[in-house]
Amino acid sequence: MTVTSAVDTSTSPVTRSGAIVAAGAAILFGVSMFWTVASVDVPHDVGDAELLDWWQQSSNRMSGIVSGLFAVGAAALLAVVANYVHRLEATRTSPLWRAFARSMAGAFTAAMLVTAATRSAIGHLVDVMDEPLPSVDVLRYSTALSYQVLGLAAMGALALTILATSVLALRTGAYGRWAGWVGIGCGGVMAAAVGAGYGSFTVPLAILWSVCLGIAVRPRG
């Protein structure tokens, strides 16, 4: 049956409660992505003294740990959403896109777990392991690595996940086609931004997609 607004769980092996969980997970994924990037802001284009002063503040190091925890949350929540979409009966009619969407979601999950580790590494080293603060060169490298893993690996995999999932919606009618078109737009822009080196700036598009997906997969009635 063609679905234009929300999942019809009467013809799907997925239960109503499963649809509710998936819808909630999609919304919370957007929240987690927002706080992953909003909870920490390492200063850029500053001198060594200013950068060291920033890292010497325990609250700033803690913000990196908090960002890492939200990154773990985002990884887990997208896995919930991807597994839900994978289980929808309608998506079985497009097995290649179905498998590709799940694979890219798994790649995103792995990249976000690495992002979580890189964002929380300095705070864990100093405040948990009681080690001295690393040199400025190490601090700059750690920050660059964290942003690159997020902006290139994680957002690249997420862009492909969004595109593949949206194609599934358009080809199979598994959930609202309007959400599929939103995903095509968001995923396309994200993929282009990743290729241009600005993937980390497309988090708002990921949030928009996740909210739309949460609305589209909610159970009706």
Task: Quote the CA–CA distance of 161 and 57 in Å, as a whole number.
Answer: 37
Of the CA atoms within 13 Å of residue 14, those in its CB half-sphere come to 26
User: pLDDT tens digits, the chain, 221 residues: what are they?
Assistant: 334 444 443 334 567 888 999 999 999 999 999 999 999 999 888 999 999 999 999 999 999 999 999 999 999 999 999 999 999 988 999 999 999 999 999 999 999 999 999 999 999 999 999 999 999 999 999 999 999 999 999 999 999 999 999 999 999 998 889 999 999 999 999 999 999 999 999 999 999 999 999 999 988 76
- Do the Cβ atoms of 209 and 162 come closer than 8 Å? yes
Question: CA torsion, points 74, 63, 201, 163, in degrees to nearest 10?
Answer: -10
**Structural Rg of the chain based on CA atoms:** 19
Of the CA atoms within 13 Å of residue 57, those in its CB half-sphere come to 13
- Written as six digits, the tokens of 3 are 């679905």
Q: How far is CA 216 from CA 24, 44, 108, 124, 159, in A?
A: 11, 39, 22, 39, 19
- Do the Cβ atoms of 165 and 101 come closer than 8 Å? yes
Would you state the pLDDT for residue 8? 44
Would you state the pLDDT for residue 13? 54
What is the pTM for the complete model shown? 0.90
